[in-house]
């Protein structure tokens, strides 16, 4: 009797695991459910699909977009306040009166030169002055003699002609000295050639030394500039030119001061485009009293800013198909329609939709390629 009971218990224990193993086979058909189903340009995600848990949609909505016209730029000195000091004549440098960084005023002495041509110009002036004095004495004498009937009018006319010619030569010699920066009536003849500053500003470069002989009229000996106002030249794209007008405000950031914004005003908008870059030059003037802005610095200029309400979707909702951009629009529960859209500017995590979707429609916003 005991042997029969034990045999029955063993049989029951052996059959239990086998019964448990049968359950997975009964549920296997659920694993065969399709991930997605395609019906034309629509995609259906069945409730049992593993993709169903990953569906995330968001409505197409209006968003405030801030538009800016920006352009790369560089700093330049105002050409009207920038002077390269060239040697007026060949000669040797006798003395430098200023050094880099010095403040100078208009007409201040910069360089003294010993120039053979300048010596010759002074000699010409001296001779012309003496000739004129002699011609005036001769004319006075001839007029006196004519008054007493000793000479005729012909001699007087000749003396007057000689006087006029001498006057012309004298004025020409004097003008040449004045052009070279010397007033012969105020400066002692025989003085060296003095080169003076043509403007008030600062000496930003010295490219010569005492004793050097200069004979290249195109090589600057010194550079003087007034950088109290500075130019920033921006290269504005062709599509943005119509936004920019003379007198408009413009802000700029510089690589040297990335956390600061400088405010200026548009001075000039070019009338022609660069044929290679398809950009137009826009010059903006910025105050620079502290001298922090220097020529050749790089900048980024914001020329225009305005806000608009734009129809947008998350950028992650966009799916590129060939040459077209598409979104998946929810048209029913778990059903999505793939549509081509025309997009605009992207800002942050959202992109403007110009056509193809309407406000309020819900679009699939994550991993849209999974629905393809």
C-alpha–C-alpha distance, residues 353 and 317, integer Å: 11
pLDDT of residue 358: 93
Q: How many other C-beta atoms can be found within 10 angstroms of the C-beta atom of residue 281?
A: 17
d(CA 242, CA 26): 72
> Domains, the chain, ranges and CATH?
37-65+308-371 (2.40.420.20), 69-79+227-306 (2.40.30.170), 86-114+192-225 (2.40.50.100), 116-191 (1.10.287)
**Residues 73-95 as b or e (16 or more Cβ within 10 Å = b):** bebebbeebbbebebbbebbbee
Half-sphere exposure of 280 (CA within 13 A, CB side): 16
Please give the span between the terminal C-alpha atoms of the chain, in angstroms, as a whole number: 70
Alpha carbon separation from 222 to 25, 91, 107, 275 (Å, rounded): 95, 15, 15, 35
pTM of the model: 0.63
pLDDT, position 367: 63
Structure tokens at 275: 């044929």
Q: Which residues contact 257 (CB under 8 A, 6 or more apart)?
A: 292
CA-to-CA separations, 52 to 59, 60, 117, 309, 318, in angstroms, rounded: 18, 21, 95, 33, 19
CB 69 within 8 A of CB 243: yes
Handedness of CA 90, 91, 97, 102 (dihedral sign): positive
Q: According to the model, what pLDDT value does residue 127 have? A: 96
Please list the pLDDT of the chain residue by residue as tens digits (372 residues): 334 433 443 333 334 343 444 444 444 444 555 677 878 788 888 877 777 777 788 999 999 988 889 999 999 999 999 999 999 999 999 999 999 999 999 999 999 999 999 999 999 999 999 999 999 999 999 999 988 888 888 999 999 999 999 999 999 999 999 999 899 988 888 899 999 999 999 999 999 999 999 999 999 999 999 999 999 999 999 999 988 999 999 999 999 999 999 999 999 999 999 999 999 999 999 999 999 999 999 999 999 888 899 999 999 999 988 888 999 998 988 888 999 999 998 988 999 999 999 999 999 887 666 666
Q: Say if strands 91-96 and 319-321 run parallel, antiparallel, or are unpaired.
A: unpaired
The structure tokens listed for 63 are 């968003």
φ, ψ for residue 252, nearest 5 deg:
-145, 145
pLDDT of residue 12: 38
Alpha-carbon span 239 to 232, nearest angstrom:
20
Per the CB < 8 A criterion, the answer to whether 76 and 233 are in contact is yes
Spatial separation of the C-alpha atoms in residues 230 and 199, rounded to whole Å: 16
């Amino acid at each position: 009797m005991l042997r029969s009971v034990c045999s029955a218990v063993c049989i029951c224990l052996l059959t239990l695991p086998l019964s448990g193993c049968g359950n997975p086979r009964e549920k296997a058909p659920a694993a065969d459910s399709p991930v997605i189903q395609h019906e034309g340009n629509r995609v259906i995600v069945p409730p049992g699909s593993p993709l169903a848990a990953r569906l995330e949609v968001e409505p197409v909505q209006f968003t405030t977009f801030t538009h800016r016209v920006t352009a790369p730029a560089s700093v330049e000195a105002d050409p009207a306040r920038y002077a390269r000091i060239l040697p007026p004549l060949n000669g040797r440098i006798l003395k430098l009166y200023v050094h880099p960084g010095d403040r100078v005023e208009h007409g201040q002495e910069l360089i003294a030169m010993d120039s053979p041509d300048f010596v010759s110009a002074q000699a010409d002036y001296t001779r012309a002055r003496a000739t004129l004095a002699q011609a005036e004495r001769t004319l006075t004498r001839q007029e006196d003699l004519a008054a007493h009937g000793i000479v005729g009018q012909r001699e007087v006319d000749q003396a007057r002609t000689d006087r006029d010619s001498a006057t012309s030569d004298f004025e020409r010699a004097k003008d040449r000295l004045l052009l070279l920066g010397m007033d012969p009536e105020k400066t002692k003849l025989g003085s060296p050639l003095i080169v003076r500053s043509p403007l008030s500003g600062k000496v930003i470069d010295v490219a010569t030394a005492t004793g050097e002989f200069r004979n290249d009229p195109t090589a600057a000996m010194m550079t003087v500039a007034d950088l109290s106002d500075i130019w920033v030249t921006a290269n504005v794209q062709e599509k943005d030119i119509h936004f920019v007008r003379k007198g408009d405000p413009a802000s700029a950031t510089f690589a040297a001061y990335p956390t600061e914004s400088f405010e200026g005003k548009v001075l000039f908008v070019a009338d022609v485009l660069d044929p290679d870059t398809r950009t137009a030059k826009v010059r903006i003037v910025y105050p620079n009293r502290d001298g922090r802005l220097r020529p050749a610095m790089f900048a980024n200029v914001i020329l225009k800013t305005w806000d608009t309400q734009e129809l947008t979707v998350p950028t992650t909702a966009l799916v590129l198909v060939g040459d077209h951009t598409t979104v998946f629009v929810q048209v029913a529960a778990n059903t999505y329609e793939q549509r081509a859209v025309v997009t605009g500017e992207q800002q942050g995590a959202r992109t403007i939709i110009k056509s193809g979707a309407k406000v309020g429609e819900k679009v699939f916003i994550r991993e849209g390629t999974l629905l393809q």
